Structure 1
Amino acid sequence: MMMPVNPAHDARPIPTGVPGLDHILSGGYAAHRAHLIEGRPGGGKTTLGLQFLLDGQAQGERSLYITLSESKRELLSVAERHGWSLDGIDIYELVPPELSLDSELQQSLVHSSDLELGETVRMALAEIERVKPSRVVFDSLSEIRLLSQGSLRYRRQVLALKSYFLLNNATVLMLDDLSSEEDDLNLHSISHAVIRLEQVTPAYGAARRRLHVIKMRGTEYQGGYHDFVIKKGGIRVHPRLVASDHHRSFAKDTVESGVPELDQVLGGGLDRGTTSLLIGPSGAGKSTLALSYLIAGLRRGEHGVVISFDETRGIFVQRAASVGMPLAEFLDAGLLRIEQIDPADVSAGDFAGRIRDAVENDGARLVLIDSLTGYMSAMAGQPFLVLQMHELVTYLNQQGIVTILILAQHGMVGRMESPVDLTYVSDTVVMLRFFEAAGRVRRALSVLKKRTGPHEDTIREFKIDSGGLRVGEPLHNFRGVLTGVPTYDGHRDDLLDERTKADGKPLNQRGSDAAS
């Protein structure tokens, strides 16, 4: 007899116990329904099931794990590695009679698949009747498929299990390892929801894990692929970022770098809610220019995050200190977060998830990604790199974040090309170049575009030393900057070092004296 249930609570969303998955499923699994979790061995199905039961246990619900494929000892070992305790969760090792070492359960004559299947299902139903759980994980349907020896009997047995679960108002996860692809549609049609876990192994680096919801009746779930990771503590899902779902009001002001000449080139500085792209050859000073805005924000008491693909955390901090930008104090104060990412060990969802965590949980107001070249290496083989980046920067802009992207161009001198064109997703583009004059290699910067206001169209020399970034006055008689081979035909006295020698004072100090 079916247990009574309040219609308002029937099929209501209940937590999955997996961070990020509830968002994809619009609240969680449907109560009192059977859900199919499918994937190849090693995909994370058992971990997903255990997290579901542990969440139920935390809420005071009775939980049952029926296992045909793994022993109780193996399940306890998995839980121990994640730091979990399964005390309070019923684990039933369902051993088919023909595999039992108990002579009373073994058949003395020829095995009958009908008897074996019927007895296995009967034992499972009897345990459910005894425990009366609210949450059940059935692991796995592959054993039932093998005993059925035919798709019709298999479908009938799964239907019988599903009906019994419904009669007992249990919310069920049925795990399937896809040992027979030809039968998967049988399960899809009778399951309330179908979630598939996949692994994608690149030619180099760690496997990338992802899931997608194939169906979920009566629910507006988030479709498409969603990356997830399995670490100590279980599965964490990174829902695919949809920028249009994230809006926040913020003050539209302009942030300064602390270098007046640099801010002057950029029309006052960088605007909140915009993305700036710094492009140029390796070593041209892109990171140092970005650091000028980062440390200025930190000194104002704002939180910042650096996503570093190209340098270790220690080298990044050491290099910043060498140019007069100490970051250690801000790290100690919790204002700065530096995420060092191994390009061979991160997915697009994991990458976006780290940035979202820094923005939504740490309150970061400035994000520096150094560099997009490393990001492209991490996303190798993914055809939608630019689309993913577009969603990410749009999300950051809608959060009022000052976003700075660094992109190294191929080569150091001569004609240079960018490995990917992200100028259209950037509100501001600053180009840095090497040039030679007066017998020395020098650096120049120019602003190619700024959507949110006016900017200088001049070319200025800049220099990096122990005092940080120094920017000179606009230089004339330049040619070849945009083609990648800048040539300076002006007077040498207009250059930074030469002007310093003229009166014995650094450029920045001369500007201060003039102001006073």
Structure 2
Amino acid sequence: MSAPETRLTTGDPNLDRVLHGGIVEGSTVVISGPPGAGKSILAQQIVFANATSERPALMVATFSEPQSKIVAHLSGFDFYTPDAFGDSVRPLALSDALRSPDGLASVVDRLTAEVVQTRPAVVVIDSAKAMTDAAASSPDLRSHVYELVARLSHTGTTLLLVGEYDDDAIATRAEFAVADAILQLSNDAVGAADRRAFRVAKLRGSSFVSGRHSLSLTSKGVQVYPRLESIVQAAGVSPLPGRASLGVEGLDALVGGGLPAGDATLLMGPSGAGKTVLSLHFVATGVAAGEKTVYVSMEESPDALMAKWRSFGMPLDDALADGRLVLHHAPITELDIDRLGDEVARLLRDRKPSRVVFDSLGELAVGAEREHRHPGYIWSLANLARRDGASVIFTQETMAFGSEVGTRVGFSHLFHNVLFLRYLERPDRLSRALTVVKMRDSAHANQLVELSIGPDGMHLDGTVAGATGLLGWTTLSVTDTGER
């Protein structure tokens, strides 16, 4: 049996995960993408993550750039270490060789000699496209690229070719023909926002996580957020014993003694019907029992949520301080669904909560549908939380009045349990009501139950008689018969 291949880290654990362990040592890798996508940053990040005094890295510039400018570009990133630059990370300018009469031949000879002398772990040529564009002809380019790769293959050096290549180049240019790996970065306008992404177009001799993964540029450098569906196992989650109380007196009895532990539950209803308030009760009850809870909000800030708990006489400041409660705010203005998935995965791994709330599903669904990933993304997010035993609640806003049809109701098949909150139109007032639409593995009540929200939160006020309307309507008309 052959020995396992040695891998080089990319400097980002998530990207290493996508590559199933990192970049194969000694391979030739093309990093392509448009200007501003993060190609050079990724290459430099790989360099600093792997270079040592014994096996340095060469950063080859095909056109002269002052060392002070290179340092200025790098100094804003956490991976940059000033002591390494010039020691384990060595700049090498080949612009003179490229402009010489021998052109690419001179570059190949010069670079080969440098590699033989220094035995680097990594060589970066940036921009490789600018260098290869200097070839006299396509056959000339092909022969010199093949020669360079062949010479370096005997040294164990990993070669990174960085360039602004378009999609057509993959099928036509010599760099891609000899590449063991092709890593594509993109930066596309989505509405008013820019969305960076990463995908593996080729990884010879190795499996990888396919598809388009979200990418961001931060002070840490390039950070990749794997497509959530690719990291959540398709296998179902085993049922768990026990029940999770909703925290509203009388409501647990309607759902068979509480929500089955480990289930995914949808609270759906129009704005103001009580979805968030019921979620607050669910969280407060868990915290009071010593359970850890994560609340992910796309709309309300942590301060606003804490104020709501206080207003209902459920102060959770101590729980927030000691870690029993974690509030994670993901504003809808810059919502990246895979970045959110990565952040939630970290919270679940670190905190191991028994209760998780996502408020609300609507914002997540918009992002998933925009990328043609509904319902897979929502299912994966729910199962990400459930696989470690958490009971999960999603809220979903429906229309305030009229029939509720179409894709919004279509979410319900993703959940074990669905509770429908709605309005009741009485002759003298507008009130609220709740129906248990379904519970997949539990007996439940079928009545329409009126509820109210007061200074101490939500209360059930008895069953409703005389309501007229259709099941899918969010507001029902009630002839007040006095029965409850």
TM-score by length of 2: 0.90
Confirm or deny that 1:260 pairs with 2:249.
yes
Q: Which amino acid aligns with 1:13?
A: R
Q: Which amino acid aligns with 2:44?
A: L
Q: Deviations over 1:445-482 (max 9, x none)?
A: 01100102111111111111121211122233322262
Report if aligned partners of 1:437, 1:492 keep a CA contact under 8 Å in 2: no
Bigger Rg over Cα = 1
Q: Deviations over 1:189-231 (max 9, x none)?
A: 21111111112211222x1111111111221211111112211
Q: Hey, what does 2:74 align to over in structure 1? A: 79
Q: Hey, what does 1:514 align to over in structure 2? A: none
State how 1:74-473 maps to structure 2 within 5 Å. 74-83=69-78, 84-88=80-84, 89-97=88-96, 114-178=101-165, 181-182=168-169, 185=172, 186-205=174-193, 207-241=194-228, 242=230, 243-244=232-233, 251-379=240-368, 381-410=370-399, 412-417=400-405, 420=408, 421-437=410-426, 439-473=428-462
Counterpart CA distance in 2 for 1:282 and 1:362 is 31
Identify which range, 149-158 or 63-72, moves more after superposition. 63-72
The 1:493/1:477 distance shift into structure 2, 3 A limit, reads closer
Counterpart CA distance in 1 for 2:225 and 2:380 is 14
The 1:302/1:439 distance shift into structure 2, 3 A limit, reads same
Q: Which amino acid aligns with 2:75?
A: E
Structure 1 residue 431, shift from structure 2 partner = 0.5
The one of 34, 40, 54 equivalent to 1:46 is 40
SS of match in other structure, 1:373: helix
Q: Deviations over 1:130-162 (max 9, x none)?
A: 322122222221122221132222222222221
The 1:55/1:249 distance shift into structure 2, 3 A limit, reads farther
Identify which range, 183-192 or 458-467, moves more after superposition. 183-192
SS of match in other structure, 2:256: coil
Q: Deviations over 1:20-64 (max 9, x none)?
A: 112111111111211111111211112211221222147974222
Structure 1 residue 417, shift from structure 2 partner = 4.3
Q: Deviations over 1:248-281 (max 9, x none)?
A: 7784321112323111112111122221111111
Counterpart CA distance in 1 for 2:382 and 2:457 is 28
The one of 492, 497, 500 equivalent to 2:482 is 492
Report if aligned partners of 1:72, 1:93 keep a CA contact under 8 Å in 2: no
The 1:17/1:413 distance shift into structure 2, 3 A limit, reads same
Counterpart CA distance in 2 for 1:73 and 1:248 is 55
Structure 1 residue 327, shift from structure 2 partner = 2.9
Counterpart CA distance in 2 for 1:356 and 1:77 is 35
Structure 1 residue 245, shift from structure 2 partner = 6.2
Q: Which amino acid aligns with 1:63?
A: A
Q: Which amino acid aligns with 1:187?
A: E
Counterpart CA distance in 1 for 2:23 and 2:89 is 20
Q: Which amino acid aligns with 1:465?
A: G
SS of match in other structure, 2:162: strand
The 1:59/1:16 distance shift into structure 2, 3 A limit, reads farther
Report if aligned partners of 2:451, 2:461 keep a CA contact under 8 Å in 1: yes
Q: Which amino acid aligns with 2:12?
A: V
Q: Which amino acid aligns with 2:355?
A: L
List 4+ stretches of structure 1 deviating above 6 A: 245-250
Structure 1 residue 438, shift from structure 2 partner = 5.9
Report if aligned partners of 1:277, 1:423 keep a CA contact under 8 Å in 2: yes
Identify which range, 412-421 or 287-296, moves more after superposition. 412-421
SS of match in other structure, 1:361: helix
SS of match in other structure, 1:295: helix
Report if aligned partners of 1:151, 1:183 keep a CA contact under 8 Å in 2: no
Counterpart CA distance in 2 for 1:130 and 1:275 is 60
Aligned length: 474
**Aligned CA-pair RMSD:** 2.6
Structure 1 residue 71, shift from structure 2 partner = 4.9
Report if aligned partners of 1:135, 1:172 keep a CA contact under 8 Å in 2: yes
Report if aligned partners of 2:267, 2:418 keep a CA contact under 8 Å in 1: yes
Structure 1 residue 334, shift from structure 2 partner = 1.6
SS of match in other structure, 2:433: strand
Structure 1 residue 336, shift from structure 2 partner = 1.9
Structure 1 residue 180, shift from structure 2 partner = 8.7
